[in-house]
């Protein structure tokens, strides 16, 4: 009788242990982001997979590019403000939180030309909102890393997401996205190193 009691107690402990593990793992498996899988696979082409191509970029159609150093992961004394690249004049300025110009930067023309060269011919995709009622989504907001302003004043924000399942617009190719972000970082680095723009 004592032997059977010990056996039951042992089985009970094992059962409770497995139950606790299951309770811990189940929410993790359900609470997942609905962001496109290909967006997490560096170097993969996202065009035509989950997103719809809405345009092909031509720098001559762009008026300016605004981008956030914070969203790009660049340490700066201007964390809440942003920077604006006048595509036609090839001039970089620093903006405050209200969008007012606070400083004119003078990076080398090389990094500016590289930004525009790499954007030329890049496709932009619209990724629709995930409406699957059985899918749980993260509620983390992701600010756009850049906003393209065209000469006709139409604005297009790249990478903005209100949740893991929200609609978003971005470069179709993840390679292009990574390259564009790196180009913008190099542009800021050039302005900071020249001592013509406040940075770190």
- Quote the Cα angle for 57-61-65, to 5°: 80
pLDDT, tens digit (0-9, with 9 covering 90-100), for 31-65: 344 434 333 333 334 434 467 899 999 999 999 99
| Tokens linked to 7 | 């056996």
Please, what is the average pLDDT of the chain?
A: 75
Whether the pTM exceeds 0.75: the reply is no
- Quote the Cα angle for 54-56-60, to 5°: 130
Helix, strand, coil in percent for the chain, rounding step 5: 35, 25, 40
Neighbours of 66 (CB within 10 A): 18
Residue extents of the structural domains in the chain? 1-30, 37-193
Neighbours of 77 (CB within 10 A): 10
pLDDT at residue 149, as a whole number: 96
Region 82-93 average pLDDT:
92
């Amino acid at each position: 009788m004592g032997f059977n009691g010990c056996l039951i107690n042992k089985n009970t402990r094992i059962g409770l242990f497995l139950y606790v593990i299951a309770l811990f793992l189940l929410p993790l498996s359900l609470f997942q982001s609905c962001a496109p899988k290909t967006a997490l696979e560096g170097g993969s082409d996202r065009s035509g997979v989950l997103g719809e191509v809405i345009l092909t970029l031509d720098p001559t159609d762009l008026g300016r590019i605004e981008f956030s150093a914070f969203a790009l992961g660049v340490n700066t004394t201007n964390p809440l403000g942003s920077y604006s690249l006048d595509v036609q004049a090839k001039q970089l300025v620093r903006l405050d939180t209200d969008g007012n110009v606070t400083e004119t930067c003078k990076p080398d023309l090389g990094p500016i030309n590289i930004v525009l060269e790499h954007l030329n011919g890049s496709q932009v995709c619209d990724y629709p909102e995930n409406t699957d009622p059985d899918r749980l989504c993260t509620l983390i907001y992701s600010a756009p890393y850049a906003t393209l302003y065209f000469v006709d004043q139409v604005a297009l924000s790249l990478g903005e997401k209100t949740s893991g399942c929200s609609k978003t617009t971005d470069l179709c190719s993840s390679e292009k996205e990574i390259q564009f972000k790196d180009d913008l970082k190099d542009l800021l680095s050039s302005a900071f190193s020249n001592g013509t723009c406040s940075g770190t």
